[in-house]
Structure 1
Amino acid sequence: MIHIKRYALAAALLALCCSSLNAGPAPWYKWRSKIDNYLSCSQTPLGPGWEKDSGPYKDSRCEKLVLAK
């Protein structure tokens, strides 16, 4: 009985590790300032003074657009 629990735990940990290896990086977006229209590239919102302008992009310079699947 103890061996079955160990194998079940090992299988669960292996499945968890395999699924996390399949995850990709977060996309990048161009954000525009509501105050002075300055553009910035970021993966996360920059705050309430910013709105999403374009994207998603593959790179941190917001040059390579992600192609739709």
Structure 2
Amino acid sequence: MPKTQLNVRVDADTARAARERAVARGMSVNRYIEELVRRDAGEQGRMFVDAAADFMQRYETVFAEEFGPETEGRRRPVE
């Protein structure tokens, strides 16, 4: 995948922390930042799935009362 240059400004402490953490992991600051962003993007997806699962668990009885187990996985006919 081709690379795109992204310039960001951070304070000196943040820059130093990024360099130190990258060195501790044996990688470049660029790769360290890439991995942080990828991990954060993945976290958003996981948060959505977790929230959806929580919603379904909380309202499972409401859905069961409305649609019943015999209609599980099927749409209810429009009346």
Bigger fraction of residues in helix: 2
Q: TM-score range by the shorter chain?
A: 0.3 to 0.5
Bigger fraction of residues in strand: 1
TM-score of the superposition, structure 1-length normalised?
A: 0.42
Bigger Rg, structure 1 or 2? 2
TM-score of the superposition, structure 2-length normalised?
A: 0.38
